[in-house]
Structure 1
Amino acid sequence: MQKVVGYVVSDGRLLVFTHDDFPLEVTGVQVPAGTIESGEQPAAAVAREVWEETGVDVRIVRALGVEQYDMWPSKPELHERYFFQLAPRGDSLAERWRAGEELPSDGGAPQWWTCQWIPLEQAHVLCNGFGARLGEIILGASDGTTVEGG
């Protein structure tokens, strides 16, 4: 199953979210991610997923590579994940906001989550292998180079 993962970075901070209706122990801290639709390119998919999940319009800074992630034991799926560094378009971003899906595509109950910015140095809290490619962004920021979009 092909997926995308988006690291939206601004001013040395990473956009993350937590689910409002489920315990943190169940869903963890996440970044925008989702399934690549049939015929869709990974770069288009990640921008779409970030918009759908957070309402933030982004631009691609760079592709960070591909990783495999086994979802067992929660699901019998192997994900091929395409990771991207992204930057928000525009300057006025809230520190924290609520987003979600009133009518999820799977037909389930509405889902809500809280989006917020955390320092890149605290990104170790990400669940489900979502932090697999963060080192490239963090190392780039700590070696004196500027993280684009930040």
Structure 2
Amino acid sequence: MTTAETEPATVAKVVAYVMHEGRLLVFTHDDFPQAELGVQVPAGTIEPGEAPAEAAVREVAEETGLRARVVRPLGSGLYDFRPTKPEIHERHFFHLEPEDRSLPERWSAGEPHPRGGGTSPAWTCFWIPLERAHVLSAGFGARLGGLCEPAGGGRA
């Protein structure tokens, strides 16, 4: 085996926790069983030259159609994406809030330009109580506890 086959690439990613009235924005894929892809939050790859906070705002807009602003960063962590892909995701987590205060309970969205091409996946976005957010798949819930800490503060 070559080094490329045994050593996964590290890819910079963002995970966006969009909060509104004590609820977290999540989505499920329309064309795949929930048991396969689970409940997710907006997330994606940081583009070259893009700051992580900018990537979080962009991903929310692209994946949900919502305009949001960063409230604060919630830290970062590594997530081993193998065996799905030979990648280690360096995830930067952010707390965001929507700019619009009048929001639907549920709506359809999707990825207009999926990485690697192919058909555009579709999903349904909706809000869940933060207390139920540990249903998130693929390690997306790793920094939910940071949403419970006061902004600008943290644990002593």
With the length of structure 2 as denominator, give the TM-score of the two structures.
0.86
Identity of aligned residues (%): 62
**CA 1:92–1:26 in 2, change beyond 3 Å: closer, same or farther?**
same
Match of 2:105? 95
Q: 1:29, 1:64 → 2: CA distance?
A: 20
Structure 2 residue corresponding to 1:39, chosen from 45, 49, 62 = 49
**CA 1:78–1:14 in 2, change beyond 3 Å: closer, same or farther?**
same
Is the 2:62–2:112 contact (alpha carbons within 8 Å) kept by the matching residues of 1? Answer: no
Q: Secondary structure at the match of 2:86?
A: coil
Q: Stretches of 4+ moved more than 2 A in 1?
A: 101-106
Q: 2:29, 2:140 → 1: CA distance?
A: 15
Q: 1:104, 1:74 → 2: CA distance?
A: 17
Structure 2 unaligned blocks of 5 or more: 1-10, 152-156
Q: Deviations over 1:85-118 (max 9, x none)?
A: 0000011100000001355342211210000000
Q: Secondary structure at the match of 1:39?
A: coil
Q: Deviations over 1:12-67 (max 9, x none)?
A: 10000000001111111000000000010001000000000000100110000011
With the length of structure 1 as denominator, give the TM-score of the two structures.
0.90
Q: Deviations over 1:71-97 (max 9, x none)?
A: 112111100000000000011100000
Structure 2 residue corresponding to 1:106, chosen from 116, 137, 141 = 116
Q: 2:84, 2:113 → 1: CA distance?
A: 23
Which of these two proteins has the greater Rg computed from alpha carbons?
2
Alignment of 1:1-150 (within 5 A): 1-137=11-147, 139-140=148-149
